[in-house]
Structure 1
Amino acid sequence: MQPIIYQPFKEAKRIKVYIPYKLFKLRNAIKQMDSSFWHPNQKLWSVINTPKNFKSLEKLCDGNYKIEKDIRFTPVPTVLLTENALEALFELEKALVLKQYSASSIKVYKKMFTVFLGKFMQRDLKEVNKEDIEGFVYELIKKSHISESYQNQLINAIKAYYEHALKMPREYYDIQRPKKTRSIPNVLSKSEVLNIIQSPKNIKHRAILCTIYSSGLRISELINLRIADVHSKDGYLFIKDSKGKKDRKTILSEQLVLLLRAYYKQYKPSYWLFEGQTGGQYSTTSIRSIFRKSVVETNSNPWATVHTLRHSFATHCIENNVNIRHLQNMLGHSSPKTTEIYTRTIEINNKTITSPFDSLLKNSTLQT
């Protein structure tokens, strides 16, 4: 079999490559390239999308390769909703508001349900059955290449309408979901985290990244932090109405307290801990921009996101032998099983763990 180089789209950040199992030398050569990354779910390697890297891949393959078009998500076409469809959308929104869903969740549910209405709004929605819905989802998977996440969000929205708005039995629309992947969170090394959080020259930007990492926050929790939520005397941050509408406490680093005091003296926020230039909450877009700039400047893992700082906090806590129950509470997980995934992300190498083979041969010499 030949290796396959997938022609990236102009805005794509990575060039993906398929390497047949038997091509060990080629795989090792690509592994040595700067920015090479393995995608276990797709069984592909990738490097940063630059003309130089594309030529390097072609040279490594020595003329024996295929170039194929990359596969991407095809946007689902939008249609103008009928009056009845808009009424159904309103009924879904009303049901979710009464159930006290968050504004962001309602926005996603409405967006996904609009996709469903685009297909079925000419029919009586009460007559649309499970088989119809699964056939629709199958069509989206085959034609639009929707992701597992998109599929789950779509099913959640459909079920919410039938179960909450129309009060139909939950079992009636037991729609087939994608098989759960057993992927592990992307995690940064301690040195990468240090480089990233020290990269911003602006003290507010630095304080934002440090707060997310040092307390294991979601980006939404960071922008909702009030000045009153910083309990420096007792050493904790109070997180109000986090995911699942739960309040919790998480650790407040002593070093972060010093940084926040210096930041406060300079910026003097009035209510929210981090405010925009004209007041009000800081935007998620700005935080992502700060993080992305720091990743690029420090040449860190290009696949990292702001949420990777939270994953890294959890993993580094496990490595520091923090009690799993304490970590669960700090992260705001309902189940310890969610927290236990971070036991699979800890760094495993011969510097952190001694192989029994080394112990066996500690006082002996292996014959070669």
Structure 2
Amino acid sequence: MAVPNIEIRVSGRKILVRMPKNEADIQLVRAIRFSRWNPGLMVWEVPHYPGNLEKLTSHFGDRIKLLEKDEVISTLAPSRQTIAKDELLAIQTPNKRLKLIFGFIPDLIKHIKTVPYANWDTKNKWWTIPYSEQFLQEIKSTAERLQLKFTHETAPPSEQGLPRLSPEDTAHYKRCPQEYRDKLTELRYSENTIKAYIPLFEEFINHFPKEDLDSLHDRHVMEFSRFLVAERKVSASYQNQAINAIKFYFEKVLGGRRKLYFVDRPVKEKTLPTVCSEEEIQRILSSIKNLKHKAILSTIYSAGLRIGELINLPITAIDSDRMQIRIERAKGKKDRYTLLSPKLLTLLREYFKKERPHFWLFEGSGSTSEKPIQYSERSVQQILSRALRETGITKHVTVHTLRHSFATHLLENGTDLRYIQSLLGHSDPKTTQVYTHITTKGFSQIRSPLDKLDI
């Protein structure tokens, strides 16, 4: 008779099998789809799918020493391995998401699906939603209504990865080939895309210092992608953009056919934008005494501009007759019109009389009529940073936050989401829907939120 020496524990969605090393047993377990060896726990992990437990018990028979079923749900929470069936665990992650771990509770799932950018993680078997105090309280209230024990935890900060290789780190740093740069220009890629692609491609080719550029192929792309995730610990958007920069070389520069690389291209989980209240915007703008600086931030907020759109505004973009601002060749190479606030127009006229710009609406120091110099993005960011220090606002506010605040305040004042989509230059209405529900006011009723402020 066989000696009982097999331990099987059913823990939520996993079957944990501890057994002596035996080639026949290992082959049986390995044959079960998605099974894997866990070296930390020294057990085999088998998915608790229908039929898997029966297959294991039938195979091991009398050799089973322990068969235990836990009334818990498996989780990868930082503080513990399992949660009870009547519990909801919410983990606030460093990337501003809420990780929601619980059993199969249809009413709770139904509520989660109403949250913008809710996502089901099929690998880890949990839900994630964007973090906000409002969503956290809604989830907590739903848990209490369903008589679930609610626990809120904060995940530790993500471990820092390796820094990007720079020219100073190696004596034989390989520069991006000129034909790569020329092709980007030839295909009219935006300046921002060019600035992003070139260093990303250089990082790729310098990751293989002993390889000639002509010898790099699919295997190198996959190896580099894994390096970005495992060693550099970059974000999903960084990894995706790096792969696109590499694909550009093989497909556009070399003229190869378009192809898919079998690497894990992550889906970026969306977060809710940070938004300032109207009172906070008032404090920021009122704290600025420099006329030009106030005009810069007021223009961004009152018209919902990106920072690149602001510094690319020529004087002729201001149409005071139609009370509009024309944005040319914005993101996606699109032109659009947005609002010209009457209060902003007054401020711009005052600024214009004092500064007398030559071509660009906002110009840097040393600008002349023969050689007008654009204002820099960094200078705009510094204006906002000083204003935030002056006002004592501690939330994470960037220049782009002013654009988000513009859209949110319009919606709060009753503006139809479809018009806001047009003002922001969004191609997909889903991009705009993050701000709030659709409303019904028409274009003629739109007023810039700046007009409500006393600045």
TM-score normalised over the length of structure 2: 0.58
Which of 158, 165, 175 pairs up with 2:246?
158
By how many angstroms is 1:215 displaced? 0.2
From the superposition, tell whether residues 300 and 75 of structure 1 become closer, same or farther in structure 2 (CA, over 3 Å): same
Q: Which protein has greater RCO, CA pairs closer than 8 Å, 6+ apart?
A: 1
Which of 198, 206, 222 pairs up with 2:310?
222
* Contact kept? 2:222, 2:261, Cα under 8 Å: no
One-letter amino acid matched to 2:274: N
Q: Does 1:190 align with 2:278?
A: yes
TM alignment of 1:156-305, pairs within 5 A: 156-173=244-261, 175-279=263-367, 280-305=373-398
Q: Distance in 1 between matches of 2:310 and 2:162?
A: 33
One-letter amino acid matched to 2:253: A
Name the structure 2 match of 1:147.
235
From the superposition, tell whether residues 183 and 269 of structure 1 become closer, same or farther in structure 2 (CA, over 3 Å): same
* Contact kept? 1:155, 1:175, Cα under 8 Å: no
1:23-44 CA distances to partner (integer Å, 9 max, x unpaired)? xxxxxxxxxxxxxx9863388x
From the superposition, tell whether residues 96 and 19 of structure 1 become closer, same or farther in structure 2 (CA, over 3 Å): same
% identity of equivalent residues = 41
Name the structure 2 match of 1:313.
406
One-letter amino acid matched to 1:191: E
By how many angstroms is 1:80 displaced? 5.2
Q: Distance in 2 between matches of 1:308 and 1:141?
A: 28
Q: Distance in 1 between matches of 2:98 and 2:223?
A: 25
From the superposition, tell whether residues 215 and 69 of structure 1 become closer, same or farther in structure 2 (CA, over 3 Å): closer
* Contact kept? 2:94, 2:157, Cα under 8 Å: no
1:85-128 CA distances to partner (integer Å, 9 max, x unpaired)? 54x62222122111101223112101000000012353355654
Name the structure 2 match of 1:336.
429
2:427 is paired with a residue whose SS is coil
TM-score normalised over the length of structure 1: 0.71
By how many angstroms is 1:252 displaced? 0.7
By how many angstroms is 1:300 displaced? 1.6
- Judging by fraction of residues, say which structure has more helix: 1
By how many angstroms is 1:325 displaced? 2.1
1:170 is paired with a residue whose SS is coil
* Structure 1 unpaired stretches of 5+: 1-17, 23-36, 46-67, 347-368
Q: Distance in 2 between matches of 1:19 and 1:214?
A: 45
CA RMSD of aligned residues (A): 3.0
- Judging by fraction of residues, say which structure has more strand: 2
Which of 405, 413, 418 pairs up with 1:325?
418
1:326-351 CA distances to partner (integer Å, 9 max, x unpaired)? 2112111121121112228x9xxxxx
TM alignment of 1:114-133, pairs within 5 A: 114-120=202-208, 122-123=210-211, 125=213, 128-133=216-221
From the superposition, tell whether residues 259 and 19 of structure 1 become closer, same or farther in structure 2 (CA, over 3 Å): farther
Q: How many residues align?
A: 290
From the superposition, tell whether residues 126 and 340 of structure 1 become closer, same or farther in structure 2 (CA, over 3 Å): farther
Which structure would you say has the larger Rg? 2
One-letter amino acid matched to 2:181: E
* Contact kept? 1:210, 1:256, Cα under 8 Å: yes
* Contact kept? 1:200, 1:294, Cα under 8 Å: yes
From the superposition, tell whether residues 272 and 19 of structure 1 become closer, same or farther in structure 2 (CA, over 3 Å): farther
Name the structure 1 match of 2:182.
94
From the superposition, tell whether residues 143 and 232 of structure 1 become closer, same or farther in structure 2 (CA, over 3 Å): same
Which of 92, 97, 102 pairs up with 1:41?
97
TM alignment of 1:71-110, pairs within 5 A: 71-78=159-166, 86=175, 89-110=177-198
* Contact kept? 1:129, 1:173, Cα under 8 Å: no
